[in-house]
Amino acid sequence: MSAARIVVVGTGYVGLTTGACLASLGHRVTCVDVDEAKVSRLSAGRVDILEPGLAELVTGGIAGGRLSFVVGAREAVREADGVFLCVPTPMGAGGSADLRAVEAVTAEIGAVLPAGCALITKSTVPVGTSKRIRAMLGREDVPIVSNPEFLREGTAVSDFLNPDRIVVGSDTPGAARWVGDLYADLGAPVVVADAASAELVKYAANCFLALKLSYVNSIAELCERLGADIDLVTEGMGYDRRIGRTFLKPGPGWGGSCLPKDTSALVKVAESVNYDFRMLTSAIDENIAQRDRIVAKIAGACGGTLAGARIGVLGLAFKAGTNDLRDSPALAVSSVLGALGAEITAYDPAVDTGIDGMTVVDDPYQVAKDADVIVVLTEWAEFKHLDWTVMADAMEGDDVVDTRNLLDPRTVIDAGLSWQGVGRPRVAGRKRVTVS
């Protein structure tokens, strides 16, 4: 198709990635935000989000005249062919999705949208949102399209440009096909659906991943109780093409900007039609239980009590490759440790801001100073390459709790430390000798 005039409302993770990538496909994109300082930084090519390839796409789009940034959506949309809503839909009261930002933008631009301009929800919204927007607009000449995103933080640009599928849904089929054609150069299969089905796809996919993660954490707990090794168990499972290898790594629980709010929102959607989604609520409960099991594991390494224990934490972001702290399981675990009286010193290569209840340092070796236990909570590759002999020499205690099964246990125990992961046997190192 020929280049389309696109407006993207919202320059957060999804909006900025969407705008920059669509511009790279040849479309003329205007990204809108309400934050004047942020718009100024982006117009100068300064990207605050840590995401491989994103800054380069932004600067390239600006230089090529295909990407611009402005404050305020009302004027920006007047000549648009399509408007993407990429605004936050956080967890609201009671667990439902908070749609106030979607509604505010719809109210702002509704009267000035050109006839035939597609209004496209890329934000994750519950089933029925397209109808809700249609009622708010009160216009039959503006098609509403659902085009959910499937972007993983840390690989968002790659995911956008190399998608497994494109999902578009609308009760105006021609508009859905037009939105699908925006992605034609990517060569991905396009699923054209009704609006309700498209809105449900994102929730169904994310919640399935949450189920899978909670399941593998439960199997890891069984491994510890039965003397099995979760790495070997998941290797055996992963060869089954019906199951696959992804999302089979145990950890301190799932988190981030999507899974917690999406699981909660789908439970609320199910309740609205009198369906008790027990499988999903069990996965949410299991996720909380996994955090508590990790805390208990760390307490055990401290001799049974966390009061006054000095804990060195490696990793605060919810996953490696991002600086996103939203619903981070690392922060959730650290918060409980602090509430139980532990003194926490933490390091994360992408986090340099202060966090209440802990000391954040800029050198990973500083977390080891006088630490009773070191805990790996985010799977940053650089932690595998630390000099664990230096870490051991700085520590007061002898234990490393590796909640990501990231480290080579042999490297840790050769340094004279004990290593324990998740779903794997604890391995004790040789007794360290302190030379006075």
Two structure tokens written together for 77: 């949309």
Cα separation, 283 vs 213, in Å, equals 8
Cα separation, 270 vs 279, in Å, equals 12
Task: Give the chain as a 3 state SS string.
Answer: CCCCEEEEECCCHHHHHHHHHHHHCCCEEEEEECCHHHHHHHHCCCCCCCCCCHHHHHHHHHHCCCEEEEECHHHHHHHCCEEEECCCCCECHHHCECCHHHHHHHHHHCCCCCCCCEEEECCCCCCCHHHHHHHHHCCCCCCEEECCCCCCCCCHHHHHHCCCCEEEECCCHHHHHHHHHCCHHHCCCEEEECHHHHHHHHHHHHHHHHHHHHHHHHHHHHHHHHCCCHHHHHHHHHCCCCCCCCCCCCCCCCCCCCHHHHHHHHHHHHHHCCCCCHHHHHHHHHHHHHHHHHHHHHHHHCCCCCCCCEEEEECCCCCCCCCCCCCCHHHHHHHHHHHCCCEEEEEECCECCCCCCCEECCCHHHHHCCCCEEEECCCCHHHHHCCHHHHHHHCCCCEEEECCCCCCHHHHHHCCCEEECCCCCCECCCCCCCCC
**Rounded-to-10 torsion of CA 72, 166, 158, 123:** 30
Catalytic positions: 258
What does each C-alpha distance from 78 to 8, 92, 113, 431 come to in angstroms?
13, 31, 6, 72
**Rounded-to-10 torsion of CA 266, 202, 195, 148:** 140
Radius of gyration of the CA atoms of the chain, in A: 24
Cα separation, 227 vs 420, in Å, equals 13
